[in-house]
């Protein structure tokens, strides 16, 4: 009964506030906070305004008089002025901050998709190889992490239905994630102004049933996507033929990574790449760190930020030297060097499906 009421109330609020559909669980939670904040602020604002109007009417000048009683604010009232809003604001912040942390911290088992913004299109690349332009296909009910970068100016990847947004910054990777629950097609906007066709930099997320997605990704990695999308991709980017692992191996060789890093498990000037992904490294500071995409990106861009114990700091920074997609490719290559997964899997999904862990 109460649940029904809350549902009805929620729907009304959703309609009044003109919010987009809620395609993730987190979107629903964010919206609940939104209803509370919007409701409370409106009530409070009208309450304060009501006082003002009441005072204006009550104390309107009836006779021409300039003499009033001197009133000073009593201390308890002043304290109330500060504490009441403070408590309310901070409690909202507390809820909002927790949600923000969840919205920006991807779960470990999320599958990855690389997103690159470019004037004025979105390119999506899957670790398994296939690429998409302006169409991002994801499975429903599985967490998807997006690793976002830009090729030219700032962009921002924004899916209103998921309530997520993240800037695409040239030279670095940002990330966001979602678990879409409702299959369907949702618009993607570029929220950071990027020039002439900023408002035309549109894409869509297609949330598919997991089974359909699994079928699609296998077919797509075999290259059928190219045919399927032949007519709709006017501006295919170069060098999309090989999958990212192969690209990563080539780029690592070109950049001279193998002068210091082995892929065989032997220790050389730098730590070996074999089984490095998701292993734990001990830092010089004594801190233990899980080697993930973020740490690997950081190590390439800013090697001395966190230095692994037992190695000399000789690694140069690749900030600005590696293209965003190249960094991604090297990371995918390192991720493929895992004995537990028997090397790379050129076909089929590289992530482990939900539930097996």
- Give buried/exposed letters for 5-40 (b at 16+ CB in 10 A, else e): eeeeeeeebbeeeebeebbbebbebbbbebbeeeee
Q: How many residues bind other proteins (CB under 8 A)?
A: 90
Structure-derived torsion over alpha carbons of residues 158, 162, 166, 170, reported in degrees to the nearest 10: -60
- Within positions 31 to 50, which residues make up the interface with other proteins, using CB under 8 A? 33-34, 37-38, 41-42, 44-45, 48-49
Rounded to an integer, what distance in angstroms lies between the CA atom of residue 13 and that of residue 25?
A: 17
What binding mask, one character per residue, do residues 209-248 give for other proteins by CB under 8 A, x or -?
Answer: ----------------------------------------
CB of 38 to other proteins, least distance (A): 7
CB of 225 to other proteins, least distance (A): 26
126 or 173: whose CB is closer to other proteins? 173
Rounded to an integer, what distance in angstroms lies between the CA atom of residue 134 and that of residue 233?
A: 9
CB of 166 to other proteins, least distance (A): 5
Beta strands 280-282 and 288-290, pairing class: antiparallel
Which distant-in-sequence residues (6+ apart) come within 8 Å of 112 by Cβ?
Answer: 126, 127, 144, 145, 146, 147, 293, 351
8 or 44: whose CB is closer to other proteins? 44
Q: Which of 4, 60, 238, 280 forms a contact with other proteins (CB under 8 A)?
A: 60
Q: Does 296 bind other proteins (CB under 8 A)?
A: no
Q: Among the candidate windows 160-168, 177-185, 209-217, 283-291, which touches other proteins by CB under 8 A?
A: 160-168
Which distant-in-sequence residues (6+ apart) come within 8 Å of 97 by Cβ?
Answer: none
What Rg value do the Cα atoms of the chain yield, rounded? 27
Q: In 3D, which of 334, 344, 347, 325 has the Cα closest to residue 150?
A: 325
169 or 329: whose CB is closer to other proteins? 169
Q: Confirm if 241 and 172 have CB atoms less than 8 A apart.
A: no
Query: How is the beta sheet containing 135-139 ordered, strand by strand?
Result: 135-139, 203-208, 184-190, 155-159, 164-168
DSSP helix/strand/coil, 208: strand
Q: Among the candidate windows 2-10, 231-239, 284-292, 315-323, which touches other proteins by CB under 8 A?
A: 315-323
Q: Does 288 bind other proteins (CB under 8 A)?
A: no
CB of 118 to other proteins, least distance (A): 13
User: Tokens for 36?
Assistant: 């509370």
189: phi > 0 → left, psi -120 to 50 → alpha, else beta; which?
beta
Q: Does 9 bind other proteins (CB under 8 A)?
A: no
114 or 216: whose CB is closer to other proteins? 114
What binding mask, one character per residue, do residues 267-286 give for other proteins by CB under 8 A, x or -?
Answer: --------------------
Q: Does 25 bind other proteins (CB under 8 A)?
A: no
Q: Does 307 bind other proteins (CB under 8 A)?
A: no
- Within positions 165 to 184, which residues make up the interface with other proteins, using CB under 8 A? 165-167, 169-172, 174
- Within positions 72 to 101, which residues make up the interface with other proteins, using CB under 8 A? 72-73, 77-78, 81-82, 85-86, 89-90, 92-93, 95-101
Neighbouring-strand partners of residue 206: 137, 185
Q: Does 13 bind other proteins (CB under 8 A)?
A: no
Q: Among the candidate windows 239-247, 263-271, 284-292, 300-308, which touches other proteins by CB under 8 A?
A: 300-308
């Amino acid at each position: 009964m109460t649940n029904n009421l809350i549902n009805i109330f929620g729907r009304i609020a959703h309609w009044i506030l003109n919010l987009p559909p809620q395609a993730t669980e987190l979107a629903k939670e964010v919206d609940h906070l939104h209803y509370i904040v919007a409701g409370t602020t409106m009530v409070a604002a009208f309450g304060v305004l009501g006082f003002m109007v009441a005072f204006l009417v009550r104390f309107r000048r009836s006779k021409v008089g300039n003499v009033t009683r001197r009133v000073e604010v009593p201390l308890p009232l002043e304290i109330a002025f500060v504490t009441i809003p403070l408590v309310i604001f901070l409690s909202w912040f507390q809820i909002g901050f927790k949600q923000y942390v969840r919205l920006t911290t991807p779960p470990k088992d999320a599958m990855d998709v690389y997103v690159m913004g470019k004037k004025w299109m979105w390119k999506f690349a899957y670790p398994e190889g296939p690429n998409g332009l302006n169409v991002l296909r994801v499975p429903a009910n599985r967490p998807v992490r997006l690793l976002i970068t830009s090729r030219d100016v700032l962009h921002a990847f924004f899916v209103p239905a998921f309530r997520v947004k993240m800037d695409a910054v040239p030279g670095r990777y940002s990330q966001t994630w979602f678990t879409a629950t409702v299959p369907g097609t949702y618009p993607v906007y570029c929220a950071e102004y990027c020039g002439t066709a900023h408002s035309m930099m549109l894409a869509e997320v297609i949330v598919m049933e997991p089974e359909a997605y699994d079928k699609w990704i296998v077919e797509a990695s075999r290259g059928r996507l190219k045919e399927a999308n032949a007519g709709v991709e006017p501006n295919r980017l170069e060098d999309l033929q090989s999958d990212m692992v192969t690209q990563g191996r080539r780029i690592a060789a070109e950049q001279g990574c193998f002068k210091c890093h082995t892929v065989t498990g032997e220790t050389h000037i730098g730590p070996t790449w074999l089984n490095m992904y998701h292993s734990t490294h001990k830092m010089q500071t004594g801190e233990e760190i899980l080697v993930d995409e973020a740490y690997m990106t950081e190590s390439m861009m800013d090697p001395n930020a966190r230095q692994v114990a037992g190695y000399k700091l000789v690694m140069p920074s690749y900030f600005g030297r590696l293209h965003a997609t190249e960094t991604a490719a090297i990371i995918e290559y390192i991720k493929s060097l895992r004995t537990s997964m028997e090397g790379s899997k050129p076909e089929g999904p590289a992530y482990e499906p939900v539930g097996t862990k």
